[in-house]
Chains A and B, each alone.
Chain A
Amino acid sequence: MAEDAKDLLGFYRTMVMVRQFETMAAEYFAAGEIPGFIHLSIGQEASSVGVCSCLRPDDYVATTHRGHGHMIAKGADLNKMTAELFGKKTGYCKGKGGSMHIADFSIGILGANGVVAGGLPITAGAGFSIKMRKTDQVAVCFFGDGASNRGPVHEVMNMASVWKLPILFVVENNQWASTTPQTASGSVRDLSIRAAGYNMPGVSVDGNDVLAVRQAAQKAVERARKGDGPTFIENKTYRIRGHFEGDPQKYRTEAEVDEWQKEKDPIDLFSRYLVKHKKSTKKGLEKIWADAAIELDKAVTFAKESPFPEPEEALEDLFVTDFKGGSPS
């Protein structure tokens, strides 16, 4: 299926937005304005955009601690995202979640997760609920190469296969699980091999080629919507930044990072593709960068000008019935 230029530039724009958002976050984190931890997905934009561009607003996505890209790709509001990272009251989670627990249930995002592979059981539930309600929604779960070795992944893969749940298992193999390389922790190199063990189709894809990712995702989405069950997609990519911002990264060489950044940057690759196939000009692409920067600035201003939540608000939103935390009954 050939996408037209408009669509392709749309994907490009989203990838650029993700890149700029992450860059902004790195800056403000270093400046001390973003508290806690952030985990940036710079270099993995093709995976987020490639998959999410195949989804409808009512499809579900469970994301990870490295989830800003998935959020933006699924259509999240930049103001609310930025405000949440800054810990402000106007953030998606009223400042209660932060980067690792950011969520927008109104567009099907079942939340980022502070537990790797924490999203898989939830996705199983979303898939199960789709079947019970007999809709043609799909549920996507993103997780990393480190998470792929955890128990719940295997329970959910088995269950999804047995019950033909409409799920996309998208492992973003960015080669590093914190300080541990995938080569040291995984029993297989191509994680998609595991799919066969659960009787579901599996495919390993160049995760930095947004169109290749789209192709695999599209196929999986169609299969799921038809009711034929889950698919396992491995997006092979690379984590350009450290595990967290501020990570001294003693476990890998600068040379390795440089190589991926120079040779295999997904946005660069796609830029070249777009120009080569005359979908846009260099200038046109630059404008996209500039426009994205302006939009992002607005979001940052919004976040900076927003108030912090009142301390007592910490006791709210625990239960639906009026029972605040801390002084029960």
Chain B
Amino acid sequence: MVTEITIPKLGLTMEEAKLVKWSFDTGQPVAVKQMVALIETDKVSFEIVAPVKGLVYPLVPAGTTVMVAQIIGYIAADAAELAILQKEHPVDAGVMVEQSKEKPEAKLDKTDTAGSNTGERIIASPLARRMAKEHGLDLAGIPGTGPGGRIVEADIQRALAAPPQTKSVPVREASAVMESDLALTVLEEIPIQGIRKIIFQNMHLSLNTQAQLTLQTEASAKRMQGLRHRMNKRLNPDETKISYNAIIIKAVALALRQHPRINSSVDKEMIKVWKQVHVGVAMDVGKGLIVPKIRNADTKPVMTIAKELDQLVDKAKQNALTLDELQGGTFTITNLGAWGVDHFTPIVNFPESAILGLGRIVEKPWVENSEVVVEPRIALSLTFDHRIIDGAPGAMFLKTLTSMIEEPLLML
């Protein structure tokens, strides 16, 4: 006799769940009380067990959202019943394979074959590669559990086990605790995809991989202010004004030339100290965090940097940045000064090894020659990867940088 496999109601207000995976393929034998499928609500994971022994016949593919009491499959007593089921409830071959409903990745994604920042080769089995390609997954974000960190099928399966949804879903009620006014309700559901997904993965990867610490100091912004003022006065009206960011990018680039170790990345067992200095500038133009690069910042005059930066911001607003402009950075600066932040602990933009956080330029009392003076000062927060940059070298770089900011003529 054919037995139904249905979705149980796990809570007072439960209406639906996600069918995460089947434990058996069509026609495989299952014992009574053996787990046959796994479902997930946003509160809990639940194993559906076989009510009888027999041959499993999944009807609904994994990854589907299912309703309470919905029949997701059957258990046939024998091969004959299985054949009847196959005739009466035909299922596409291959539909049981977990399907990702993710949209193809946006142009900004790092692909696994395009030159990544470090040129690091991603080790994955042929099958894993194919599955990742078929499901639009980025191998770079998937941890590999095989030998030598090889990404294998199981890792892809894991990554697929919780695919994001493609659109916002209207308000749903979570399982009730006791009475409805004590329960949490969702205001909005936002799928983690696109840029958010990249940031999501990158942040995690960065902190998960590196040993990061932040050194904090302050620099006098007096001379930098003065320089900026004088330079901008000499500009024609149509020329791009020089920003603090531009000056600091230049200082950073030159300081990196003096402390090349900060301008590096880890590639497996190797520290790769980069020849070029490409400084990224973190910005949010309303679509999320992006980090366009000023390439070879050490070779460009401040005016050029300022102009390029301006162009990058424009392009960012129009969503017109190219892959080259977004890839291949060796250092990042991030400026939260506009929001009144001083010191903070920025997270390194993986796979770079250091990031400089800039605070606001604020007038503060300072002591000079034993006298209290008022001068503009700026907070500098340098986070770096202590696996390859120790405290002292990091501090030395920060000191060089600070000197250049405090005395821009040192950049000559």
| Contact between chain A and chain B defined by CB under 8 Å | no
